Amino acid sequence: MPPSKTRALVTGAGAGLGRVVALELAKRGCTVALVDIDERALQATSALLRELDATSLSIRVDLTAESAAKDVLEQVAKSWGGVDILINNAAFGGIQPFFEMTVTFWQKTLAINVTALAMLTAAAGEIMKRQGSGRIVNITSPASRMAIPNYAAYSASKAAVDSITRASAIALAPFGVTVNSVAPGMMDTEMQRITEADLARIEGRNDIDAFLAERTRRVPLGRRAEIREVAATVLWLAIDAPSYVTAERLNVSGGLDRD
């Protein structure tokens, strides 16, 4: 599929990794559908794409709504005739002390990180199945393989993403569609900053700089991930990887995730 005709959809495109991935896809000649719940952030990303003279579509939506996944894919298909790439990046990364966990918090985490991702994968997969091609990249996390009591809901949700990636890869393989995932390390995104600030507070750490430095030292490469490094890996799977690569998880964590 020639990059100039590739139709991509990126969730959580309003900021952080999603925004960078959307911009890099545009630079490769893709048309990009931007999906986010934050209208202001969505428009900011859209403005950056216009500067690149890229064709884009902005969709402000709550992905946890009952028919959101189907509605989003129908809108993209109606506008462009189909979809070639889906980047499942939207996520909620809240922190909650283990002994204070609530049903509402878990439901929100799983609704965004698991259910919405699964529904989007199925909806995009249906279109890609008819096309006979397509690539889906899910954003998972090293947390899915780590024991982090105050991050239990998020960690569990990303373990579910790993499972969905494998299952959907097998379901879509007969139709020429690949499904893979990327596990980023610590990146300087808004979600990461909020998460670490909450972790520090819960653990009673008043010196946030010392806390962050301590966490960074856990990374074997000794530094945090650049967003563009992670985005480059996402693009490799979405565009450049051999079509024989599927059901795979690529760790971009500086060795934090050693498996």
Catalytic residue among 11, 154, 183, 225: 154
Measured distance CA(232)–CA(237) in Å, rounded: 9
Nearest to 62 by CA among 86, 33, 39, 32: 39
Query: Can you list the positions of beta strands (E) in the chain?
Result: 7-11, 31-36, 56-60, 85-88, 134-139, 177-184, 249-252
Contact (CB, 8 A) for 162 and 259: no
DSSP-based helix, strand, coil % in the chain, nearest 5 = 55, 15, 30
Task: Work out the angle between the directed axes of helices 208-217 and 190-202 (0-180°, nearest 10).
Answer: 110
Longest dimension (CA), the chain: 55
Q: What radius of gyration, in Å, describes the C-alpha atoms of the chain?
A: 18
Q: What is the DSSP letter of 163?
A: H
Edge-to-edge strands, sheet with 249-252: 56-60, 31-36, 7-11, 85-88, 134-139, 177-184, 249-252
68 contacts: CB under 8 Å, gap ≥ 6? 61, 62, 116, 119
Task: Categorise residue 101: left if φ over 0, alpha if ψ from -120 to 50, beta otherwise.
Answer: beta
Please indicate whether residue 154 is annotated as part of the active site: yes
Catalytic residue ranges: 154
